[in-house]
Each structure stands twice: as structure tokens, then as C-alpha cells.
Copies of this chain bind each other. A is one copy, B any other.
Amino acid sequence: MKHEDSHQHSQQDSHQHSHHNHNDCIDTALETAETLCAEQGQRLTKVRRRALELIWESHRPLGAYQLLAKLAEEGFNSAPPTVYRALDFLLGAGLIHKVESMNAYLGCAHADKAHKGYFLICDECHNVMEFDYQDIHAALIEKAAHQGFELRAETIELTGLCAKCKAKKVGASA
């Protein structure tokens, strides 16, 4: 196993965990975003920046219209193109991912690393964990190449039961 790492993006509530202060995550993500945009001559404008923050503040993947509502509350323009433009920008910059099976958007924890989003999605609590698994990535590239296919992007979304919800179920039936 060359490299493997994972990151719990979401949490049950807004309180701080003993092992995970989500506010730090947001701060780091925003700093990374600033840096990346600066490096690439991209403009992280007010709406774009605030959209990214709001996506990070959410504990689960955020729908476009949910995000739009939050932005509208803060006085931003409340027509759909506003939010979709921001989302397009952030997706293009690799700062967020789209979870295709949920039509929702999630802050990317490894924006600086150039990667694909691999997700574990809990059917019960709808929390999403992003993970990065080089072995699988390599295997997929090889598998695709074997069929003459040149891989560009990967959508890997796994659903099931997360550890917490599994524990809760066992407790309930006991």
C-alpha cells in the first residue's frame, strides 16, 4: 500500500469533537483556496469565497439550491445562475467535489493534491467521508488502459452504513 489517507468531512453537530475541530478545517480550506487561486491567477471573489465557506460549514454535502438560499439570506443575488457559477468555478479549481448520486456539493479536503473524489456515503445519517486510495486509482488506470481507454476522471461513490450508525443499530436491537 503506497499511500492511503482519509478525512472525516462531516460531523453530527456543530460542536467541536475531541479529535476534530471543524472550524480549523474550514480555515485551512479557505487558506488553501486563496493560495491556489492566487497561484493560478484565478479570482476568488466574494460570492465564490462565501460559497466555499458555506459548503464547508455544512456538515453534509450541500445542494445548489440550499446554498443559494444561504447566500440569499446574506444579501447575495438569489437567482440560480449565481450559485451555479460559483459552483462551476469551485469545481474547476478543484476546491469542491460534486457527489453525483446526491446532486450535492462537498468541500474538497485535498485541493492542493490534485486528486479525484472517492466517497463513503452513509445511508442513515448522510454524512460523507472522502478518502483517497492510490491502490485503487492505479488499478483503475491499468484496467482502463487494458481496454484502450484513457482515464481522465473518476466518480467513486460508495454507500452503506457508517461506523456510528452501525453501532447505533446494534445498540437499538440489543
Residues of A within 8 A of B (CB): 4, 6, 100-101, 120, 122-123, 129, 131, 133, 135-136, 139-140, 143-144, 147-163, 166
Q: In the docked arrangement, what's the CA distance between A46 and B159, Å?
A: 32
Q: Report whether B161 and A149 are in contact in the complex, using a CB–CB cutoff of 8 Å.
A: yes
- The reply to whether A6 and B147 form a contact with Cβ atoms under 8 Å apart is yes
Q: Which 5 A-B pairs have the closest CB atoms?
A: A148-B163, A152-B160, A155-B157, A100-B100, A150-B161
Contact of A151 among B100, B149, B160 (CB under 8 A): B160
Which residue from B139, B148, B162 sits with its C-beta under 8 Å from A139?
Answer: B139
Find out whether the CB atom of B101 lies under 8 angstroms from the CB atom of A155.
Answer: yes
CB < 8 Å neighbour of A149 from B136, B148, B156, B163:
B163
What are 23 residue pairs bridging A and B, where the CB atoms are less than 8 Å apart in the complex? A100-B100, A100-B101, A120-B147, A123-B152, A135-B139, A136-B136, A136-B143, A139-B139, A140-B158, A147-B163, A148-B163, A149-B160, A149-B162, A149-B163, A150-B160, A150-B161, A152-B159, A152-B160, A152-B161, A153-B158, A155-B155, A155-B157, A155-B159
